[in-house]
Amino acid sequence: MGIQIAPSILTADFARLADEAAKVSNADWLHVDVMDNHFVPNLTLGVPVVESLVKAAPMPIDCHLMIEDPDRWAPGYVEAGASSVTFHIEACQAPIRTAREIRAKGARASMALKPATPIEPYEDILSELDMVLIMTVEPGFGGQKFLDICLPKIRRTRDLVAKHGLDIWIQIDGGVSAETIERCAEAGADVFVAGSAVYSADDPNLMVEKLRTLAADAS
């Protein structure tokens, strides 16, 4: 599908989420960060809000579960209408079963890695996934500075995907902006989560297009 931009509502106005989704109507996805104040030190939203966003947003919902016990909770987000559901491998006890259940319910299954988590131990389960999310900040809060040390992991992940001939998207989340997106695209990423860079812009839709163009030119 080429380059895709997924604005994160983490930095949007939670009191006006339908309006905030409409501000990025030309985005490919709306990225929803679900945090439980256990796996990460922050608390955001859950299934009822996702259900409402599915009805209000003009694009599909991409749920990033930064929660404990995603094996138990991930299927519920598919049932709520999410088109893509990401679980953190650090919190997942049965990633193959969870990925298969997400897919069986009709959504794309994605595995997320924190900055210090290597991709190599999970090479054998890549075929069970539709996307790998590489965190380029420590998960939990928006507005953090991009970690360049994650760029080699993006390249290694792309190499593993190519090695096995898989059709897997590589998503980047954390500090993505006009200043960092080209490096990520050059390294092999093709789906970009951007929160502060988009929602702090005077024209969020225009920023989405700018980021898409920068990434496409660098990939």
Catalytic residue IDs: 33, 173
Listed in sequence order, the residues at least 6 apart from 219 whose beta carbon sits closer than 8 Å to its beta carbon are 3, 185, 186, 190
> Partners of 66 in the beta sheet?
35
Cβ atoms of 191 and 6 closer than 8 Å: yes
- 3-state SS, residue 20: helix
Q: Which residues pair with 63 in a beta bridge?
A: 32, 85
Contact between 131 and 110 under an 8 Å Cβ cutoff? The reply is yes
d(CA 44, CA 155): 31
Cα dihedral sign, 139-141-142-145: negative
Q: Which amino acid is at 106?
A: G
**Residues shown for the chain:** 219
H/E stretch holding 193: strand 191-194
